[in-house]
Structures are given as C-alpha cells and as structure tokens.
Amino acid sequence: MSDEMTNPRGRSAQAGFTLIEVLLAIGITATVMLTVGTTFHIMLNARDVVDDLAESSEAGPRILKLIERDLRGLWTYNVRNNAVFRGVQADVNGRDADRMSFLTTTDSVGTVQDLENNAHRTTLCEVGYLFKPNPRFREVFELWRREDPMVDDDLTTQGDQGTFQLVYDRVKSFRVRYYDTLGWEAEELFEWDSAKEDKLPKRIMIEFTIERKRSSRNVVSDVEIEDFEGAEKKYVRHFVLPKRLEGILQADNARIPVLPPPPIEESSAGPEGPAGPGGPA
C-alpha cells in the first residue's frame, strides 16, 4: 500500500508547525523586539541628555553676550535727572535675583507705530533684566528681558509696558555688584542709581548660576534635592565700562552727538602732493 493509504494525515502533519515551534518563534521575536526597543529608548535618552548639556553650555555665554551688547549701547545724553542706569538688589523665593534697568541704543526688538501706522524699530529704548518665579519648580526662576521704546522718567516701570522676552527659565541665582574704582581693592556695592550718584559705575560684576534641564527630575514635595548630577553651571564676568563714560553725567561734561566732518578731497597731483612752493611746477 502507498504511504498516503498507510498514513492519510501524514501530509497535513508535515505541512504545519507544532505548538512548541510556534511558541519558540514568538519568544525569539519578542526577545529581538525587546532588545531593539530598549536600545532605541537608551539612544533617545542619551540624545536628550546631550541636548540638555549643549543647551545649558550655550545659555550662559548667550546671556552674558546679550547683557554686554546692551551695556555697550548705554545712552547718557539729555536725560532728566541723569536717570540712565539703575541697579536694584532683589530676590525670588529667598534667592539672589538682582535687577538692572538702563537706557541703551541697541535696536529694539519690538516696534512702534507712526501716525501712518507704519512699524519702526527704535534706536533708543529702556531695557531691564528682571526675574519671575518658575511656575513649575520653586527652586529655580526665570530671567526676562524687558524692552520699552517709550522712554519715560521711570526706568524700572514693569507691568504690561514694553516687550518681555524670556531669556532662560532655569536660573538659580543672579548677583550684580558695582564698583566705583578698578582693582581688587575696590569696594563692592549692592545697588547703583545714576540719578543719585550723577555718574556710572566703572565696573559691573555679574555672577549667576543656571541649571540644565533634567530628563528625570528628583522632586520631593516640590523641593529639589542637592545637585548630585552636576547639573548646575556658574558664570562670572566683569564688565568694565568704556573710559569715555567716566564723568559723562557731570555738569558741563556731556558728549553731544555731532555729524562727522565732510571727507577731504584727495589731490589729483599724484603721490608727491599738490603744486606749490617747493613742489613741482
């Protein structure tokens, strides 16, 4: 008799998979997928950590560069009561959060409308660096830059006046110190008001600490634990104001902007100079 007649179910048994083979295939597939998924998750976490580190490394120099740009444009001419610079000692939730406000010629970010509703960027505006509590975490606060092209008698006006730009949202402390003289023996001052001093500080020291974003935060009752991850970065820079600003606010010492003289026409007589006594005939 043929094999089909001896075992009529032999062909169907050879064409399929046993339960053990199916379970084994499922197990191998699950193991491979789990390995791929775990590797992909680790790569994503590593990318987030690198991005956070890069962001915090760039944030500090970016903040210092922004402040330096504004300080280089200090405006001092024809201002009532010499109210051109004001530094105030302040805090947010018990942490140092000193504020600065001054007039600067840095081109404004916001615009103003003229009588024909055309938008213009102003070349003189009030600029202030101030802080607000972080709505998510109590131990850090936000650094904001206030800009108001409508200059008035109050440099520290806040409220809704002007344009507010979020500079960084994870600042842990921000200290500003002022010096009337240069050198390491200079007295450290906590506040400065040009309207009272009738002069500008010769040197400004800015020291701040920022924290990088953490993918997995350690928060207990809304209070962060110690910085065991090395997430905090501290920056310190001394800004020495230009020598031309010394005594600029004193009486009869204002530098009044004037137009430059017209260019001198070059002589067409050649490199030896124009004709004249002792010159070529």
Helix/strand/coil (H/E/C) assignment for every residue in 224-256: ECCCCCCCEEEEEEEEECCHHHCCCCCCCCCCC
Q: What is the pLDDT of residues 236-261, one digit of tens each?
A: 999 999 888 888 887 766 555 567 78
Can you list the residues of the chain whose pLDDT is less than 70?
A: 1-15, 45-57, 157-160, 213-230, 252-258, 266-281
Q: How far apart are CA 104 and CA 75, in angstroms?
A: 5
Q: How far apart are CA 209 and CA 175, in angstroms?
A: 9
pLDDT for 281 equals 43
Cβ–Cβ < 8 Å for 149, 110: yes
Cβ–Cβ < 8 Å for 156, 129: no
Contacts of 235 (CB under 8 A, 6+ apart): 60, 61, 63, 64, 206, 207, 208, 209, 210
pLDDT for 129 equals 95
Q: How far apart are CA 84 and CA 254, in angstroms?
A: 13
Q: How far apart are CA 120 and CA 112, in angstroms?
A: 5
pLDDT for 41 equals 76
Of 238, 233, 62, 47, nearest in space to 140 by CA: 233
**Pairing of β 232-240 and β 141-148:** unpaired
Q: State whether the Cα torsion 270-275-278-281 is positive or negative.
A: positive
Q: How far apart are CA 119 and CA 134, in angstroms?
A: 33
pLDDT for 246 equals 84
pLDDT for 119 equals 78
pLDDT for 87 equals 95
How far from chain centre, in Å, is Cα 164?
A: 13
Q: Is 74 helix (H, G, I), strand (E, B) or coil?
A: strand
* Alpha helix (H) residue ranges in the chain: 3-6, 10-15, 19-72, 194-197
Contacts of 84 (CB under 8 A, 6+ apart): 74, 75, 76, 102, 103, 155, 194, 200, 249
